[in-house]
Chains A and B, each alone.
Chain A
Amino acid sequence: MTQNVLSAFKGKVSASNYKNWIGVAPFFLFAILFIFLPSIRLFVDSFKDNNGHFTFANILQLFSEPYILNAYALSIKISAVTALGGAILGFLLAYSVTVGNLPKPMRSILITFSGVASNFAGVPLAFAFVSTLGRTGFITILFKDVFGLDIYQSGFNLYGFAGLSLVYMYFQFPLMVLIMAPALDGLKKEWREASENLGASAMQYWIYIALPVLLPSILGATILLFGNAFGAYATAYALTGGRIGIVTIQVGAQIRGDVLHNPGLGYAMAMGMVFIMAISLAGYSWLQAKTERWLK
């Protein structure tokens, strides 16, 4: 009797399981076709030389070629700086249109702008900056004519580290705004009132309640921003024409380039990028587990 009930129950479960899985099938199809298979190919090909023979040379080169190590360092530096900068700026902006007392229309203006700007990349973004902050850009000229200040003379260079970071910031902070605005909305008014009622200052409220509650979102968003910059290619390429040595551009040069043609090395470098992202994601999960232990 129990047996019958059990097996009937089982049958039902597997039938409904099958139906439940249909909905996510396209996702798995995409994941297999465009993440899983390419990753395997990447992995396999990074152990091949130009003639398709097995080799460790590509992997070893990652750790011995100074220009490759520098490329990783530069990419990590740009990603970290723009992730932190974007996180701070984006957080402050999101704060001012949610918890802060800015008029309501400011919020929709900022959110709409952020939605557009966070997806602004590649040639159009590079062009926008070249025409404003390039050597003959509008703002560069304005500074020269009005204030007598040549920003390129004073060390600024749109096509170097500072310039590229500035350009990246343009899509980094809007992404932070988009992620943090709903998170800040999730802070309940009563928490603030309860803390004030118990004698806490606004500062104590932020330190003991609001920031700890927001920390998982802030960390997650910052890692996302890091990855966003780390994997960016088109913007840097359009801006510098491949003259800045970040990893993605070096990978591109190895795979597509005429001068430095060594796809195996390119794949190995891409593998390195995957590895670095995996480490930062692992670090994120660890931090998140620590900061989110009070969540279900």
Chain B
Amino acid sequence: MTHLALTNVSKLFGDFAAVRDFNLDVEKGEFVSFLGPSGCGKTTTLRMIGGFEIPSFGNILIDGEDITNKAPNQRNVGMVFQSYALFPNMTVAQNIGFGLRVRKESEANIADRIKEMLSIIHLEGKAHSYPYQLSGGQMQRVALARALAIRPEVLLLDEPLSALDAKIRVSLRAEIRGIQQRLGITAIYVTHDQEEALSLSDRIVVMNTGKIEQVGTPFEIYNFPKTRFVANFVGSLNTADAEVVDVQQGLLIADGVLFHTAEGTKGRSVGDKVKMAIRPERFSFASEQKKANVIDATIENITFLGAVVRIEVKIGNANFNMDTFNNPFLELPKIGSQTKVTCSREAVLVLDD
């Protein structure tokens, strides 16, 4: 059953449309990320769910109830800010208990809830510390506990990790996901970091210039990007202009080289100009001739990236990147040498614009 629904939501600032025609249904307990470059309208959408912006058009419903025009303090939605936004004059315990205190819950209930939340975020020892005495990661955990303490119907997180350093980002990200799953709470998570979105989410909403580009599981978004924007924004990608040669057999020609695609020519006709895309890791050296695409290539450059070795190959007149796992017992080809590379039909994507 749909828990949170946004229908045809748009937000205008003057003439400028920050969010356009946003449609999304979120299930109870689902973790959904809004992923997109800076300025694409992620925060604005999140703030409309929180009640800090009122949509210019469209509706927002929680459990079927229209909350579009409700004041923020009348909604039961928890929010975690990028800057933590802890109240500096209150201790950790007072911060966590604040929402319950203004709701006039009994002191005993508040104390119990604070204890419970402190144990969830593993900061039992810091109950009486002030925010300035905590590290960034600890502050954000307190902010999370504060938002969760009021038992919100939806938890909103706006780039909660982007002010933290890389190590803490990764561990706290796992912690957030763990807590969210344990409590079964519906969460909307805003980020511009594709790795974060891919690793955390049940579903990802990829946004660009105020519009949804694609909604899907991390698997779908990564492996089957629908638009050029998604393909480029999520993961790295080789793209080339191509033309449909044979619809039946799924044949494309790019720069004089033929490529077989699995589904790419569906619904198109011979002569259509299309954008062809292949992820670097889908290429490999053609040791056996079992794959559909076996292509002559010249080694142009080799970059060692640790776990991965990135090899730049020339196919026809275009350069493609090819990623292979680093294998210390396998000799790398020489720059300038001729070789054959291969990829499956499924690896050859054809993108909408």
Q: Chain A: residues with CB nearer than 8 A to chain B? A: 188, 190-191, 193-201, 204, 208-209, 212-213, 293-296
Residues on the A chain within 8 Å of B81, using CB: 190, 193-194
Which residues does chain B contribute within 8 Å of A198, judged by CB atoms?
Answer: 73, 78, 98-99, 102, 146-147, 150
Per-residue A-contact encoding for B74-112, CB less than 8 Å = 1, 0 else: 000111010101111111000000110011000000000
Residue from the list A190, A193, A200, A213 in contact with B102, Cβ < 8 A: A200
10 cross-chain pairs, A with B, having the tightest CB-CB distances, nearest first: A198-B99, A190-B85, A196-B72, A194-B85, A212-B89, A200-B102, A294-B130, A197-B79, A196-B73, A294-B89
Report the separation of the CA atoms of residues A131 and B50 in the bound assembly, to the nearest whole angstrom. Answer: 56
Q: Known contacts A188-B83, A190-B83, A200-B98; is A294 also within 8 Å of B132 by CB? A: yes
- A197 touching B77 by the CB < 8 A rule? yes
Residue of B nearest to A293 (CB): B130
Chain A nearest CB, measured from B223 CB (Å): 37
**Known A193-B81, A196-B72, A197-B50: A295·B102 in contact at CB below 8 Å:** no
Is there an interface contact between B90 and A294, defined as CB atoms closer than 8 Å? yes
Q: Which of the four size classes fits the interface of chain B?
A: 20 to 34
A277 to B86, CA, bound (A): 37
- Residue on B nearest A207 in the bound complex, by CB: B102
Contact B78–A197 (Cβ < 8 Å): yes
Q: Determine if B99 and A199 form an interchain contact, defined as CB atoms under 8 angstroms apart.
A: yes
Flag if A195 contacts B150 (CB, 8 Å). Answer: no
Smallest Cβ distance from B97 to chain A, in angstroms?
10
Would A294 and B98 count as touching, CB distance under 8 A? no
Residues of B within 8 A of A (CB): 50-52, 71-73, 77-79, 81, 83, 85-91, 98-99, 102-103, 130-132, 143, 146-147, 150
Determine chain A's interface SS by DSSP, over half rule.
helix
Assembled-state Cα–Cα distance A209/B89 (Å): 7
| Cα-based distance from A204 to B78 in the complex (angstroms) | 18
Q: A199-B73, A209-B87, A213-B89 are in contact. Are A193 and B52 (CB under 8 A)?
A: yes
A202 to chain B, nearest CB (A): 9
Q: A193 vs B84: C-alpha distance in the bound complex, in angstroms?
A: 11
Residues of A within 8 A of B78 (CB): 197-198
Which chain B residues border A196 with CB–CB below 8 Å? 51-52, 71-73
Residues on B with beta carbons closer than 8 Å to the beta carbon of A204: 102
- Chain B residues with Cβ below 8 Å from A188 are 83, 85
Q: Complex formed: what's the CA distance from A293 to B88 in Å?
A: 10
Alpha-carbon gap, A280 to B218, bound state (A) = 64
- Which of A195, A198, A200, A204: most chain B Cβ within 10 A? A198
Complex Cα gap A141–B50 (Å):
58
- A contact residues around B147 at 8 Å (CB): 197-198
Q: Are B88 and A213 in contact (CB-based, < 8 A)?
A: yes
**What's the least CB distance linking B93 to chain A, in Å?**
13
Q: How far is the CA of A196 from the CA of B71 in the complex (A)?
A: 9
Q: Is the CB of A199 within 8 A of B87?
A: no
Question: Which residue on B lies nearest to A201, using beta carbons?
Answer: B73
Q: How far is the CA of A199 from the CA of B86 in the complex (A)?
A: 15
17 extra interchain contacts, Cβ-Cβ under 8 A, other than A195-B102, A293-B130?
A: A188-B83, A190-B83, A190-B85, A193-B50, A193-B79, A195-B87, A196-B72, A197-B77, A198-B99, A198-B146, A199-B150, A201-B73, A208-B98, A208-B102, A209-B89, A213-B88, A295-B88
Contacts of B131 in A (CB 8 A): 294
A204 to B83, CA, bound (A): 22
Choose from A193, A201, A208, A293 the contact partner of B85 (Cβ within 8 Å): A193
Instruction: List A contacts of B83 (CB < 8 A).
Output: 188, 190
- B-side contacts of A197, CB under 8 Å: 50, 72-73, 77-79, 147
Cα(A161)–Cα(B292), bound, Å: 99
Nearest CB on B from A198, distance (A): 3
Closest to B85 in A: A190
**Of all chain A residues, which has the CB nearest B150?**
A198
Find the residue from B72, B79, B87 having the highest chain A CB count within 10 A: B87
Chain B nearest CB, measured from A186 CB (Å): 10
Q: A199 is contacted by which of B50, B85, B89, B103 (Cβ under 8 Å)?
A: B103
B90 contacts A193, C-beta separation under 8 Å: no
The residue on A at minimum CB distance from B98 is: A198
The minimal Cβ–Cβ distance linking B43 to chain A, given in whole angstroms, is 12
With a cutoff of 8 Å between Cβ atoms, the chain A residues found around residue B146 in the complex are 194, 198
Q: Is the CB of A195 within 8 A of B52?
A: no
Chain B residue nearest to A189 in the complex (CB): B85
How far apart are A203's CB and chain B's nearest CB, in angstroms?
A: 10
